[in-house]
Amino acid sequence: MPKMTFIERDGTRREVEVAAGYSLLEIAHKFGIDIEGACEGSLACSTCHVIVDPEWYPKLRKPTEDEEDMLDLAYALTKTSRLGCQIVLTDELDGLVVKLPPGTRSVLGL
Ligand code: FES
C-alpha cells in the first residue's frame, strides 16, 4: 500500500498508509486530517486545496482546466497548489508529500 505524508498547519507531519485509489481528500477524512472538502469532490469549492511538495508536483497528472479555474479562487495559492479531491493516490505516488495551506476560502460560503 502506498504511503503519503500530510504536513499539517502547525508543521506536524502525518504519515499515512492507505490502499491505492483514494483521493487525497478521502484519505484526509479517513485519518482525521483537517481538509474541509465542502463540495465533496465535485470541483465546486477550493476548500480541499493542498500544496504539493515541489519534488512531487511534476509527477502528478496535470490539473484539468476546471481544476485550475477553481484553484484560482483558493486562498494562499502557490505554484504547486492542487485540489486534494482531484489527486488520486497510486502506487507510483508512494511517498507523496503535501502541505495544508494556512487557511481556505470556500466559494460556496459554507
Ligand atoms: Fe470541493 Fe475539492 S472538495 S473542489
Of 53, 58, 38, 37, residue with least CA distance to 5? 53
Give pLDDT, residue 44: 94
70: Cβ below 6 Å to ligand 1? yes
CA 19 to chain centre: 17
Q: Give per-residue pLDDT as tens, 48-95.
A: 999 999 999 999 999 999 999 999 999 899 999 999 999 999 999 999
Long-range contacts of the stretch 11-15 (C-beta < 8 A, 24+): none
Contact between 104 and 39 (Cβ < 8 Å): no
- Position of cell 477553481? 70
Probe residue for ligand 1, chosen from 49, 85, 87, 106 as the CB with the greatest number of ligand atoms within 8 Å: 85
Nearest CA to ligand 1 atom 4: 43
85: Cβ below 6 Å to ligand 1? yes
How much of the chain, in percent, has pLDDT values that exceed 90? Answer: 91
- Nearest atom in ligand 1 to the alpha carbon of residue 45 is 1
Give pLDDT, residue 31: 98
Probe residue for ligand 1, chosen from 22, 24, 83 as the CB with the greatest number of ligand atoms within 8 Å: 83
45: Cβ below 6 Å to ligand 1? yes
